[in-house]
Structure 1
Amino acid sequence: RRRFEEQLRVMLANFTVRKQYLKVNLERFLCRPEGGGLAALRIKQQGVDWLRNQQLAVLMFGHRNTTALYFDRGQLKLGDSPLLGFANMLDIVLDMTSGLDRERLANSLFDARYTIINKVYSKDRNHSARPNWITFDQIQALASAKDPSLREKEISHIVDAIRVATAQYWDKLNRWMDKILPRPLNEVIIGGGAAYHVEVELETYFNCAWELQKIDKYSSVYERTGEYVPKDDKLPMIPMVWGSGFITQVQETF
């Protein structure tokens, strides 16, 4: 933190923006841990009295790091930020394949994921689903072979690599969370774009399934309410709260 402040002061002393040179004097430096902003927004939403009775975790799934914070009745008791980011998963895919562009691969994965993130639910399926990667144009477009037979094999190989990489990425996250997260927890705040890639695994880990409601009383189509219910009634549930959802709510309220 101290080194970051020193470097920031040096950079601001000779700062260029839109071809203009500025000498900026840093009067105040406040550095919060990654994920601290989500915790602050949640406290703003729920109130300080609520926080005093909570055992709360924050998980930020980033590109290079994954960060965990643990608050025990308002006090930050634990923080950890290992190099367990989404980049690890991409590295595995790239190692198992050839000729793939990292940025294009990442964009294709999230395009496919977001395509089904609000997929139609039914009373028999109230949990998130993994994309069937091989059916998505974005994933198929990653293949470079022109021959139809070779192209089909290449697409299958890419999909296999994605599945293997996702399993290995989650295994590392799972073992780290087992080690770092205390129990019990009243809730866990989830943030970071990479979280959506392992949403299926997170729901299982925290025993969460989406609470659903019919889109209208005559329909057999359901939608998420934004709340969770236990996926397995025989196991304890730790409710997940997605940061992207309550950020919007706080902005609209305040």
Structure 2
Amino acid sequence: MTQNEENPQIMLALDAGGEGTKFIYANASNQVESAASCYMEPQIVKLPHSAIAQLQGNKISVALPENMCWIGVEQEFYAVGYLACSRFQGSKCLSTSKVETAIYKALAAIWVIKRKLELGAKFTLDVAVVLPPCELSDKAYFEEQLRQQARRFTTPDGEMSVDINKFLCFPEGAGTFLLYKGQSSAAQIHQEDIALVMLGYRNASVLVSRRGLLDIVASSELGMYRAINQIVKRSSNQSENRLVSAVAKAGWDVKREFLSNLVNTTNPKRKSYELDLLTTAITESRLEYFFQLKTWLDEMIPREANLIIFCGGTAEYLRQPLKKAFPERCLFHGGVKIPSQLDTGGLGCRLLDIYGVYTFLMQYSLQQKIGR
């Protein structure tokens, strides 16, 4: 084997968001053909070694790596993603700093990539991550911890040792802005003020490009979780995990066929009654949430912004009321779509921000090679 084959160079762009960990990866020697995306559920849970031993004792498994992932760091073990939520009732940890869990989720993604690309236990990684603007001050800590922990951590395949070469960190929404910049004229970017609003599951953030200079305006915990939490309180026997997907699929029009699985009764009259209650809970909760969000956006979006780019999964859900609230200035997801061959999980606009970051990382790594 050549030296490059012995120590392959891998690229990873990662978003450890509150509604799921999304990442795009590729072997740097074949960036176009090997590029792929992956999604992991947002849950994570700390486990005793005995639970890991039991998992390892199960020799019959045909699960995909993203669905059977755990990692060990300094004698502490964590189940991540589907394994955490399906078997160990793991938490989304929305009340803690994203950086605290993002390190373990990044290590989990690294192991999944190892499996997907059929790599050995050692390789070199260029990584780009996104964080809420309110947590960007933690990026140095994130980088330090990720570099340290990646050098030696345990996985279902045994110990791994990964060297972090380049580390880049962006505020959420920056990737979408980079994609918009790539398809827009220089005059648009250099002569206008453009607001970029990232609406995720936990956070809502506003960035502003002032004639091409991107600046962070504000970030708050006004993501879709605020509405889901209210729906749980207003409805009967519902949980956040069950509601998220159903509410998203039901859309702003609240199509009841996507909610029927949430009702546990087989009695037709009772089912209709519970569906009415749930529909009312969704309608009232999201309206309350949108009023809070719009009040905040009215304060944070500069009046001189000629264009407002809304991005993120929550922005797509709120497309109808946002278009009414901000007519004429409204553009969703920068007018960009994720390449269908890369979006194998059907994440759509939720993958777009990290795709923009991945594209930047790919170009950045290429420039670094040329500059040597």
Secondary structure of the residue aligned to 2:164 is: coil
- Structure 2 residue runs of 5 or longer lacking an equivalent are 1-138, 341-351, 356-372
TM-score, normalised relative to structure 1: 0.73
Specify the code of the residue in structure 1 equivalent to 2:221: L
Q: CA 1:56 to 1:140, structure 2 compared with 1: closer, same or farther past 3 Å? A: same
TM normalised by structure 2 equals 0.51
Q: CA deviation at 1:173?
A: 0.8
- Indicate the larger mover: 137-146 or 85-94: 137-146
User: For this pair of structures, how many residues does the alignment match?
Assistant: 205
- Taking the aligned partners of 1:171 and 1:13, their CA distance within structure 2 comes to 47
Instruction: Name 2:210's counterpart in structure 1.
Output: 72
Distance 1:244 1:205, change over 3 A: same
**Residue matched to 1:184:** 304
Listed as ranges, the matches of 1:11-50 within 5 Å are 11-16=149-154, 19-50=157-188
Q: What is the Cα deviation at residue 193 of structure 1?
A: 1.0
Report deviation, 1:246: 4.4
Q: 1:162 aligns with which of 266, 270, 282?
A: 282
CA distance in 1, matches of 2:210, 2:338: 22
Q: Post-superposition shift, 1:166?
A: 0.5
For the 8 Å contact 1:42–1:246, the answer to whether it is kept is no
Counterpart-to-counterpart distance in 1, 2:220 and 2:181: 25
Q: Would the aligned equivalents of 2:176 and 2:333 in 1 still touch at CA under 8 Å?
A: no
> 1:165 deviation in Å?
0.9
State the 1:78 CA deviation. 2.9
Looking at structure 1, the residues matched to 228 and 173 of structure 2 have their Cα atoms a distance apart, in angstroms, of 23
Q: Does structure 1 residue 173 correspond to structure 2 residue 293? A: yes
Residue 147 of structure 1: how far off its partner (Å): 2.7
Quick one: structure 1 residues 92 and 244, their matched pair in 2 at CA, closer, same or farther if it must change by over 3 Å? farther
Q: What is the aligned-residue RMSD (CA, Å)?
A: 2.4
Counterpart of 1:109 in structure 2 is 247
Deviations 1:101-122, CA, capped at 9 Å, x for gaps: 3233221122222xxxxxxxxx
Q: Given the alignment, which residue of 221, 226, 239 partners 2:330?
A: 239
Listed as ranges, the matches of 1:86-235 within 5 Å are: 86-113=224-251, 130-131=252-253, 133=254, 135-207=255-327
Q: Tell me how far 1:35 sits from its aligned partner.
A: 0.4
CA distance in 2, matches of 1:239, 1:137: 30
What percentage of aligned pairs have identical amino acids? 26
Query: 2:16 is matched with which residue?
Result: none
Deviation at 1:188, TM superposition (A): 1.7
2-structure distance, mates of 1:10, 1:171: 44
Q: What is the CA deviation profile of residues 79-132 of structure 1, one whole-angstrom value per residue up to 9, with x for unaligned ones? A: 32211111111100001112213233221122222xxxxxxxxxxxxxxxx41x
8 Å Cα contact 1:66/1:82 also seen in 2: yes
Q: Which moved more, 1:187-196 or 1:157-166?
A: 187-196
Which segment drifts farther, 35-44 or 180-189?
180-189
